[in-house]
Structures are given as C-alpha cells and as structure tokens.
Amino acid sequence: MKIDIITIFPEIAEGPLNESIMKRAREAGQVEINCHDLREFTTDKHRQVDDEPYGGGPGMVMKPEPFFAAVESLKTENSRVLMMTPQGKPFEQSIAQELSDETHLIILCGHYEGVDHRVTEALVDDEISIGDYVLTNGTIASVIVVDAIVRLLPGVLGDATSAIEESFSGENGYLEAPQYTRPAEFKDMKVPDVLLSGHHRKIENWRREKSLERTRKIRPDLID
Ligand code: ADE
C-alpha cells in the first residue's frame, strides 16, 4: 500500500509515523508513506495556502489551487482520496479495515477554519472525522487513521492473532477483557485465579464474561 499525506505540517505526520511499528512497516516495504508539504504545490512567491473567507467570518480558509495541484500530480486510477475534517464520517475499526484493502490513499489535511469546498466536491472520495472534537489541524487526525490502517496490513503485526482478538474487531465487536502479566500478586492485588489455572475453556468463558461486563458499563452503545 502507498499513502500520500498532504499537509502544511509534514513534520507532524513524519514524527509519529517514523517510530516503532510504523517505522518497521515502512522499512520492510509493507507500506510506502510520503508526507508532502502543501506549499510545494503553490506557484506564487509567498507560497500562500490560505485566504479570507468569502462572506466574512473569523479565521482563514485553505485555497483550492495547491490541493488540486497536489492531487493531480499524485492521483492514479487506483487512488482513493480522503479529507480529514471534523465534518466527516466518524472513523471506526470497520472503516480502517475497508481502507486497508486499498492500494493507494491520498490524505488531505485541513487547517484553520476549513478548506475551500470545491476541493471536497471535486477531489475527495471520503471525508473522515476521528471524533466529535476539533483539533488545530487535520494532520494529527491523519496520523491516527494511517496507524489504524497500516497495523492491519499483512505482516505488519508480528503476531497475526493480535489484530483479531482485540476490542472492536473480535467476534462480536465488544471491548477486550482485562489483561494481566507477572507478578501474580502486586501490592495486595491478585491476578484472577482462572487466568493462572491453565484451563483454556474456563479462561475463554471468563474473558467473554468480562468483555460483556466492561462493554455494558463503558460502551453500552456497542451492544445491540
Ligand atoms: N481536523 C480537526 N479536527 C478534526 C477531527 N476531529 N477529525 C478529523 N480532522 C480534524
């Protein structure tokens, strides 16, 4: 998979995507990620990417021309173009799963009060929000989306089962049961006996029960 991120802050994306599992996936060639500076696609002396909103109002709006130039230079017939925006569709595991099947993603990141709507209308396949809150820029959101997608690509997570038996993508989409590691007792807190029993069926039942209990308490909206 190839991912092109278009932003006025390429370093914000480059930092987190150049550590740990993302870094390894890039080095292993499981994903190619390019963080482009939107200003590279301007043609004026001041490399201007924003301007005042028509109709008035606070803040600045991102100009269409650099986004059009960027997408026109990067897009192929296999590309899917995403726009990070709080006005988008809420991002969730099923969307990460669907996007992980694509061969080329181009991710446009907004800033300021928004992006000229002609960009969205003419260039964008999906507008995506990472949640009902407003960030200072979409680049931070793009990193989250890229991380969630790349970890699903074949071979990226060493242990193939770890992407399956976890919250949201397990058999029923419930939250994961609590996990413990050594020591078995710490500051008077004991690991549940069943996890030390070696009894696989009992452990499985316990996890299913805890998963349901936790989901009911914290995310009742995930239960039918
Ligand atoms: N840009 C600013 N806030 C955002 C959000 N919640 N999701 C995606 N992009 C954003």
Q: Residue 83 Cα, ligand 1 centroid: separation in angstroms?
A: 9
CB of residue 84 inside a 6 A radius of ligand 1: yes
Which residue has the least CA distance to atom 1 on ligand 1?
A: 138
**Rounded distance between C-alpha atoms, residue 142 and residue 12, angstroms:** 10
Average per-residue pLDDT in the chain? Answer: 95
The model's pLDDT over 82-127, given as tens digits with 9 standing for 90+, comes to: 999 999 999 999 999 999 999 999 999 998 789 999 999 999 999 9
Query: Which of 121, 41, 106 has the alpha carbon at shortest distance from 76?
Result: 106
The residue among 98 and 159 whose pLDDT is bigger is: 98
Band the pLDDT of 151: cuts 50, 70, 90.
very high
pLDDT at 190 > cutoff 60:
yes
The residue type found at 189 is M
Beta-bridged to residue 128, according to DSSP, are 89
**Rounded distance between C-alpha atoms, residue 8 and residue 221, angstroms:** 37
Q: Residue 7 Cα, ligand 1 centroid: separation in angstroms?
A: 13
The helix or strand, by DSSP H or E, that contains position 5, with its residue range, turns out to be strand 2-7
**Rounded distance between C-alpha atoms, residue 139 and residue 118, angstroms:** 20
CB of residue 129 inside a 6 A radius of ligand 1: yes
Tokens of 184: 């078995």
> Of ligand 1's atoms, which has the minimum distance to the CA of residue 132?
6
Average confidence (pLDDT) over 72-88: 98
Percent of the chain with pLDDT over 90: 92
If you search the block for the tokens 């890229």, which residue do you land on?
146
Contact at 8 Å (CB) between 113 and 57? Answer: yes
Which residue has the least CA distance to atom 4 on ligand 1?
A: 86
pLDDT at 165 > cutoff 80:
no
* pLDDT (0 to 100) of residue 157: 96
- Domains plus CATH for the chain? 2-150 (3.40.1280.10), 168-222 (1.10.1270.20)
Q: Residue 181 Cα, ligand 1 centroid: separation in angstroms?
A: 36
pLDDT at 161 > cutoff 90:
no
Q: Is the peptide bond before 183 cis (omega within 30 degrees of 0)?
A: yes
Give pTM, 2 decimals. 0.95
**Among 112, 126, 127, 129, residue to substitute to test ligand 1 (most atoms within 8 Å of Cβ):** 129
The helix or strand, by DSSP H or E, that contains position 36, with its residue range, turns out to be strand 32-37
CB of residue 99 inside a 6 A radius of ligand 1: no
pLDDT at 162 > cutoff 70:
no
CB of residue 66 inside a 6 A radius of ligand 1: no
